[in-house]
Amino acid sequence: MRFRNASDADCPSGSSAVSVTRRRLLARAGALSVLGAAWAVGPAARASAAPTAFAEGSVTLELPRPTGPWPIGVTELHLVDRTRRGPWWAGEAASRFRELMVSVWYPAGRATAEDGPRASYMRAGAAAAFGAGAAKILQVDRGAVDWAGFVVHARAGVPVAARAGRLPVVLYSPGMYNERTLDTTAVEELASHGYAVITIDPVHEAHAVEFPDGRVIEPAPGLGAIEEGADRSRAALEVRVADVPFVLDQLAVLARGGNPDAGKRPLPRGLGQALDPRRTGMFGHSLGGMTTAEAMRVDHRIRAGVNLDGPLGYDWADPELLLPVARTGLDRPFLQMGAWFTGPSGRLAHTHEHSPSWRAMWRNSPGWKRDLWTEAAEHNSFTDYQTLLPALAERLTLPQGLPARMTGTVDPARFTASRRAYLTAFFDQHLRGRHQPLLDRPSPLHPDVRFIG
């Protein structure tokens, strides 16, 4: 998770007044001041920071346990695209081959599920960089939260569950400046239900990406130097969308028995043969939702997608700045889940009834579609923030109103369960061909979720 921005607001800008607000990194709901530019656009790379010495009694975080029948394993891949250079805005990296870090989450064999250690939420160097910024946002001592000791439910490197059969593949893309870990809550849930989930770091954009050699890559100053919010989003999105076909190509190498990891590190037993790239979906939050939609437009290997509260324009409210996919629509299943956005007339429900970009996408898409809205949610309710911020608020004194401004007033446990349920049902229906009544009509089990269309 990331505390750089309460609303992921350095995503597309709105009107000039709204744009200024977003550039100052305030919540769309208003009033939440977040990190200054110095931390936001720090050095593009630095040596792995020494882990913080945490005081006794520092807060240790934990995510909700997955509900599926399978234990979970995870491994990481360092991928190098030798057909592309780094982003033009990434300084010296623009002259080097494009590098990525991805994680692969999967159902693990029950007999060997506990043979490996519980995996960390993020590597130690990335956790140190992240924790320094988080402390500023939370207004707590740097050692108040043990980010380096934050572990997930998955076990590192354990064998894949042979009895789970061939695994549908789901890609995940986080919000702007966020790490690939930001929705581990949903990722582990899908893996526990028999999916291989691939989380992709937007290197040179994400706040902290650590490579196997200890390099910690932070946001390139060149990206933050792009003044117009719409232009900045366009620059980041172009790179992300180009990353997705490359990742799919590397997964195909893995499925054929190869090892795409740049360092040829050992892979979990059975991983390659378990993948079924013919059944591939994708989901993402904010800019990651935009990435999902655009990647589906350019790469038909992605059969179904989910947009979690991301605009489908370079601007949240300007109908002249639509993404290409909003103009063309999609002929494959696409689910949208939203909260709120700010338009010229004020705060509006982020649905196809009010958002110009969602309306265009809805009108132009002949494929299966669904629009779900949660009134009591906020932009970061669709991430791990929904669970972690309330937990931190129980143990620490946080800035007044911070959790509500970031994640709304929705019941955290109930909405997390709902979000997991709708994501799993969507991919079960559209990648596995299993009809899911949950997608047909509102459910009393999920009272916070309204069907808009």
β-pair type (302-308, 196-200): unpaired
pLDDT confidence of residue 114:
87
pLDDT confidence of residue 218:
94
Single-letter code of the amino acid located at 148: A
Tokens of 230: 């719409």
Is the Cβ–Cβ distance between 382 and 7 less than 8 Å? Answer: no
Q: Express each pLDDT in 88-130 by its tens digit.
A: 999 999 999 999 999 999 999 998 888 999 999 999 999 999 8
Q: Express each pLDDT in 253-286 by its tens digit.
A: 999 999 999 999 999 999 999 999 999 999 999 9
pLDDT confidence of residue 143:
86
- Give strand ranges (E) for 158-274: 167-173, 196-200, 209-210, 216-217
The answer to whether the pTM exceeds 0.85 is yes
The whole-angstrom distance between residue 321's C-alpha and the CA centroid of its chain comes to 23
C-alpha 129/C-alpha 162 separation (Å) is: 38
pLDDT confidence of residue 189:
98
Name residues of the chain where pLDDT drops below 70. 1-57
C-alpha 291/C-alpha 236 separation (Å) is: 10
Site of tokens 């009107």 = 15
102 burial type by CB count under 10 A (0-12 exposed, 13-18 middle, 19+ buried): buried
